[in-house]
Structure 1
């Protein structure tokens, strides 16, 4: 098996970037999801609720963040001095505000008052202790430092989606791209020359290049996967088909969450070894 692609998302729920190499830090890929958007009441906003966030491309040059989008000129972001506490799912985390200019830029994009927040200290947010160790930390990702998916699993899912459409008398849709699932690392899941979809469900530990990872848990999927990243409209797939073939414990599943056992560097083409 090999590492087929690497992606990171500087601002949670905005467009991602594919890169050839990435540094792994204890809380995720360097630069991944260190910023998020909040609403007027301080609640976390994601593309589940505001799909137009996906029109924002956040670019990092070292530690400097620039927002680009279809509605306004690019905006360099300068975090302000004041902090506030934001509830990021089950955890309350102290985040630094990014100032009025960033708030106005993003508010114009989504059409409602919002603010941009920055996790200046990524050691503040622990991983769910049910699936991690006491020292494990995560940036502003949903729950865990990295998300892994496999090309073989997506291929099988797209086959199922086409079959489901035909059975319902519908025109089969175009295959879903992997970016719908917002992974950090995608592997070509070929073992002894055979593609094994969903083999990752059973993995406990693996090494990608020079970095060892624990598989903390499988990843349950939400309606964000139904948002077309080009049109920002919602459909029924892949949730409809995952609910048919990949539903248990009242949830649907695609991909696995990873926790790194140490820092290191990843590069596309790196070998992947399962322990």
Structure 2
């Protein structure tokens, strides 16, 4: 088995960055979902579930931690990392509330005009990162702005099997994984507890619960009229009302992951 793809999402719910290598630590891949768009009036997080226009934004996480925003027909905008303890804004992501630095008026204006709604862009410095959902992971595990966990892994064979059942190819990016593993049987990852990729050990914490976001075409933002692949997933991947696809992971230590590294199941 090998690590066949690496993806980073610098801003929650915007387009992916495909990587050949990345530093990785307790918060997942370097730069992954360190930024988030929130409603200006109440700090509530925005995602493509309700705002599919987010999927048309391209964001590059740059070497100094800053962000480069781009969208068709618009001038790009570079956003500096705000000071960790200044211009703090209260935000809400699912059941978590936290105070994180606001990225400033220029970024807010750029995004608000694009989305047609008053929004703000916020950043999560490491000292302000969230704990994982209760009952999962270690006290040292942290997450910035993913739904709950540092990393998401999907087996390529699992997607291939889903595509076969749907009757047409499904793009991997509908599921927004960080890690794609090739060479395992379909849904083999459901049974893993610990794996090693290169020199890094990763813990498998829980299956990923899927939602309407999977029905959006990652290239166009258009929703599938037949609600695929969610419709098919419900026929064979539903458990106690949750549709499951992929596995959430946490990381032991710090290191680097590279596409092509061997993947070994430890437990």
TM range (shorter): over 0.9
Task: Give 1:12's aligned residue.
Answer: 12
Of 210, 227, 237, which residue of structure 2 is paired with 1:221? 210
Secondary structure at the residue paired with 1:101?
helix
Task: Give 1:65's aligned residue.
Answer: 67
State the distance in 2 between where 1:187 and 1:271 align: 9
Task: Give 1:200's aligned residue.
Answer: 189
State the 1:61 CA deviation: 1.9
State the distance in 2 between where 1:46 and 1:102 align: 17
Compare 91-100 and 11-20 and name the one that shifted more.
91-100
- The answer to whether structure 1 residue 176 and structure 2 residue 165 are counterparts is no
Residue pair 2:66, 2:81 contacting (<8 A) in 1 also:
no
Task: Give 2:21's aligned residue.
Answer: 21
State the 1:230 CA deviation: 2.2
State the 1:59 CA deviation: 0.9
State the distance in 1 between where 2:98 and 2:56 align: 26
Residue pair 1:27, 1:122 contacting (<8 A) in 2 also:
no
Deviations 1:52-102 (A, max 9, x none): 111111112211211011141000113553011212212112111011111
Task: Give 1:137's aligned residue.
Answer: 142
| Structure 1 length-normalised TM | 0.91
Compare 133-142 and 197-206 and name the one that shifted more.
133-142
Deviations 1:139-196 (A, max 9, x none): 111110000001100000001111xxxxxxxxxxx41110111000000033xxxxx1
State the distance in 1 between where 2:123 and 2:57 align: 16
Pair 1:70–1:24, CA change in 2 (3 A): same
Of 182, 185, 190, which residue of structure 2 is paired with 1:188? 182
Residue pair 1:52, 1:110 contacting (<8 A) in 2 also:
yes
State the 1:252 CA deviation: 0.5
Task: Give 1:209's aligned residue.
Answer: 198
| Structure 2 length-normalised TM | 0.94
State the distance in 2 between where 1:6 and 1:111 align: 32
Residue pair 2:99, 2:128 contacting (<8 A) in 1 also:
no
Aligned residues: 259
Task: Give 1:95's aligned residue.
Answer: 100
- The answer to whether structure 1 residue 250 and structure 2 residue 253 are counterparts is no
Secondary structure at the residue paired with 2:89?
strand
Task: Give 1:230's aligned residue.
Answer: 219
State the distance in 1 between where 2:146 and 2:73 align: 26
Task: Give 1:32's aligned residue.
Answer: 32
Residue pair 1:84, 1:95 contacting (<8 A) in 2 also:
yes
Residue pair 2:26, 2:140 contacting (<8 A) in 1 also:
no
Task: Give 1:119's aligned residue.
Answer: 124
State the 1:123 CA deviation: 5.0
- Structure 2: gaps spanning 5 or more residues: none
State the 1:122 CA deviation: 4.9
